[in-house]
Amino acid sequence: MPGRCPECGSSEVVEDSHYSQDHLVCTECGFLLTEGLLTTTRSEETFSQGTPAPFFIRVPAVRKAVRYSESTAEVKKPCRNQIQGQKRVHDLCRILRVRPVVEDTASELYLKAYEHQSFLHVTLEKKEALVGCCVHISCRQHNWPLTLSTICSLLHVEPTLFSTVYQHLLKELRLDIPTLSLLDLVKTHCDGFNLFQNSASIPSQFLENKDKVVERAMQLVELASETWLVTGRHPVPIITAAAYLAWQSLFPGHRLKCSLGKFCKLAGVRQPPPASQRVKEMLDILVTLASQLAWLVPQQLDAKTVVKYTDDILRHRTLLLRQTLSFASTENTNGHIDPSEGTETSGEAEAGNSSGEMVPSVVEHLGDVSRRKRTMPIFLPPCLKQRKWKKACPEAETTLHTEPTTGEEEISDSEIEQYLRTPEEVAAFKSARAIL
């Protein structure tokens, strides 16, 4: 114990314990002679063990800021599931052969998501999906094209569960994911096809060079984009359909009879349900454009034979699209009417003449319908092309000269009674009518 205080010279110096730390304080003036090692790091405490603290040292006004994890507190060790999750992240990144920066970002993102309150008490299946979500987000942030189906197949996770965890993770961590180009997804999706690798289980006539298929599939996807076929559609069925048609067109002699299901089975990928419909739509576009080629006019083109001329169509697709659109606009300008529409119009006119009365509103309505059909563009988005038009009731056709219904017309009392169902409603209506 020191003799006197260096500040006031008093000998009343006592040892005081403050938050488990021993201090030497002068009881006369309150001068702090020494203090504990709370503001030192754990390594400094280990180094200074056995070395007495110096006395009679004035404490500086600004103390050293030390984090709690670096002080005498025990370091929190990660649990077993967290360690296994990090290992799964690194294993998945090495399987995909991503860059080291992508692997580091995925690991940091997994630690941040694992300690989040929303993912602490979830099932093991969701934590397994969380591993793939972190890797997928990291790849997207570093412009590394990767599809969700690829990760789901590697982790054996249901796509529905994976999508749920993925959307929940984006929402909770407020992550910004850049949108990938559809052409980049073509390259990524076609990399895993077994048709590009020599295998004894695949016939030689079905093997093809990957670069040729990817190049032609990208051209087909561009054509589908220019003709509104990709609007609002999932990219995987479109890419699968484009790869199938590109693969057929490179060697059509032995591949035209190969169905889409057999192609997916040989390629080792799952066939998306809408892929067959996307194939049909692409073939319709190819038939429409092939009809503008002069050397193909004498031939009978259909969906089964147009694949042979895919190379010519893609080579001149800009000119063929322009000619098809100009030809459609010329027909609309000339005002050609479908023979079936003309027959229907003449029949309505004859019916009016036989009765001795003319219905000009009916004729004008039919004229508007035929004009609307003539001016419809040849290429439309799927939401406009597949609209379901309601059939007009026969009673409405005979009363076309009346004013349209706006919904603001007055309702009679007898018609109101038809909408009343319960006795309480009937009583309320009678009481309201009595008041009025």
For residues 41 and 295, which has the higher predicted lDDT (pLDDT)? 295
3-class DSSP assignment, residue 400 = coil
Parallel/antiparallel/unpaired status of strands 13-18 and 21-26:
antiparallel
Average pLDDT over residues 59-69: 47
Distance, in Å, from the CA atom of 407 to the CA atom of 409, rounded to the nearest integer, reads 6
Task: Give residue 250's pLDDT.
Answer: 92
For residues 243 and 77, which has the higher predicted lDDT (pLDDT)? 243
Distance, in Å, from the CA atom of 120 to the CA atom of 122, rounded to the nearest integer, reads 6
Residue 314: CB atoms within 10 A of its CB come to: 19
Sheet architecture: strand order including 32-34: 13-18, 21-26, 32-34
Task: Give residue 218's pLDDT.
Answer: 92
Task: Give residue 6's pLDDT.
Answer: 81
- pLDDT tens-digit series, residues 23-38: 788 887 877 777 654 4
DSSP states along 290-346: HTT-GGGTTS---TTTGGGGHHHHHHTHHHHHHHHHHHHHHHHHHT---HHHHHHHH
For residues 340 and 411, which has the higher predicted lDDT (pLDDT)? 411
For residues 2 and 313, which has the higher predicted lDDT (pLDDT)? 313
Least confident of 45-54, 174-183, 223-232: 45-54
- pLDDT tens-digit series, residues 89-148: 999 999 988 889 999 999 999 999 988 888 888 888 898 999 999 999 999 888 887 878
Mean pLDDT for the chain?
75
Contact call for residues 374 and 332 (beta carbons, < 8 A): yes
Confidence bin at 371 (pLDDT 50/70/90): very low
For residue 3, is pLDDT > 70? no
For residue 318, is pLDDT > 80? yes
Average pLDDT over residues 349-373: 43
Average pLDDT over residues 331-337: 55
Confidence bin at 58 (pLDDT 50/70/90): very low
Confidence bin at 399 (pLDDT 50/70/90): very low
